[in-house]
Amino acid sequence: MKNSNTNILVFLCAIYIIYFIYSIFQNANTPPITFTLICIYALIYLADEIVLKDKLSKWGTGKSFDNMRKVEWYRLITAPFFHMNLLHMMANLFGIYFVGSFLEDKIGSGLFLLMYMVGNLLVSLLFSAFSSFIKGTGASPGIFALIGCIFYLYIQTPELFDFHFGSWQTSYLILYTTLGNFIGLGGAISHVLGFIFGILMSMLLF
């Protein structure tokens, strides 16, 4: 019964995610890298959950160096595209959407993708070197690197961003930045590191 209810929930969420992706595809203002990342998050999670039954996650999720073979170093890059559950994926899906809506057009798609990928990679390297685990997931370090960039640019040039406090876009960004740090010590550390790396990269690039 529990598995049946879970499958129904995943199916309903899949329908909503498809509708959401279709809606933002119809919106010409959605930045291209932001849209692409949303599609990748959703496609990987739904395909692995519904069709492949965790086979994809066994191949691509993160591992610490003490649990990783040399031929598996690709996991440092692939791990951030996997998520541990539906809530985790949805939180990051909306997180990258709102962060991308605020930032990608301001700094350009190339730099946006670079900061996202480097933020994820640096945090993955640190965690793989100094901790032991066999299933690392989540894009939030890269998203927090982009939030660090927003923070830095806002301090330097406040008029660059049109924040409306009380709007649901700004409210979600604030909630994501704060509540996301209560999921556990490891998650909070990865978020703080991503945020710091985002600021440092911004100082070098802007």
Q: How confident is the model at residue 5 (pLDDT cuts 50, 70, 90)?
A: low
Q: Which residue has the higher pLDDT, 182 or 69?
A: 69
The answer to whether 97 touches 35, Cβ cutoff 8 Å, is no
Q: Report domain extents, the chain.
A: 2-205
Closest CA to 120 of 44, 68, 194: 194
Q: Is the dihedral of CA 61, 66, 69, 70 positive or negative?
A: positive
Regarding pTM above 0.85, the answer is yes
Q: How confident is the model at residue 4 (pLDDT cuts 50, 70, 90)?
A: low
CA distance 174 to 87: 18
Across the range 8-36, mean pLDDT stands at: 82
CA distance 3 to 13: 15
User: In the predicted model, is pLDDT for residue 151 greater than 60?
Assistant: yes
> Across all residues in the chain, what is the average pLDDT?
89
pLDDT tens, residue by residue, 168-180: 678 888 888 887 7
Burial class (CB in 10 A: 0-12, 13-18, 19+), 124: buried
User: In the predicted model, is pLDDT for residue 187 greater than 80?
Assistant: yes
Structural tokens at position 191: 């978020």
Name the CATH topology of 2-205.
Answer: Rhomboid-like fold (1.20.1540)
Highest mean pLDDT among 15-19, 29-33, 139-143: 139-143
Backbone angles phi, psi at 32, to 5 degrees: -65, -45
pLDDT at res. 116: 98
Lowest mean pLDDT among 49-58, 108-117, 143-152, 157-166: 157-166
User: In the predicted model, is pLDDT for residue 2 greater than 50?
Assistant: no
pLDDT tens, residue by residue, 76-100: 999 999 999 888 999 999 999 999 9
